[in-house]
Structure 1
Amino acid sequence: MGNNIRSLDTYPWFFGIFLYKKAPNIVISIFPVSALISSLINTLGFQLGFWDLSPLIKENETISALPFDIGLFPLAACFAIYWIEFKKINPILSLLLCSISLTGIEYIGFFIKKVRYGNNRNIEWTSISYLIAAIAATL
């Protein structure tokens, strides 16, 4: 699993470097806000028992999500904004594509037993939370 976490932490940055070269203002302005929103949502989700990630670090569950909080999720938000601002994709379509893509990635994690849900949480609620987070990052 360490290699899986490492790849989800590292590979998005290859795309992030590409995006930074094309639109540095988006990365500089959207990334920190998105990382903060991601960290907040993941911390609440762990504390309320909505989900767990494997491997679970019992002393501090949020460390399990750190590669996502400072890699995948903020860069996904940056790309959504890039598509809206530079590629002139409809904002609703861009945010939907972003949340559907992230939901698909999480579903793969759920399918291979790296993500566990609790407290009536399921993939549908995950999709909604990704959409809310994407909208919040654009405000």
Structure 2
Amino acid sequence: MNWRAHIEALLRAAKPASVCALDASAFELAAAALPDLTIQRYHEPDPPRCGVALGVDALNGLAASAIEQLIGRIRTYSAPRLLLVAQPACALDDAGFRALGFVVSRVDADAGTRVYDYDLDTYKSVPDWLNARFWAHPERWEP
């Protein structure tokens, strides 16, 4: 399975209410995967809210800091889930994507691309210590 088929499978499995395409290639890919869904185009001044943001060529030619800023804006204002394709010349490396909470979803060695997935609901597991067993109990305190 190549990276395009992988992204189409992820989009179909996610069944998002809306998709925001970050570039023309992403728009075509999302429209092919979800033909019954209206695909929105990402635009900077007033970005649309959507369930999933998809970028295929959006990172091409951007510096690492510009990629980080773009990802931050999308996560904050547009979508809780991002699917991004990193071409071989991408300025942000694997460690940079991991630092931003992404996981490698697919590596296509033939094309030299990597598909990164970020999902706000699953990017960080809840630590064991964060439960009621370790909370303070004010009724047990004596003055």
TM superposition score normalised by structure 2: 0.28
Which protein has the bigger helix share?
A: 1
Higher Rg of the two aligned structures:
2
TM superposition score normalised by structure 1: 0.29
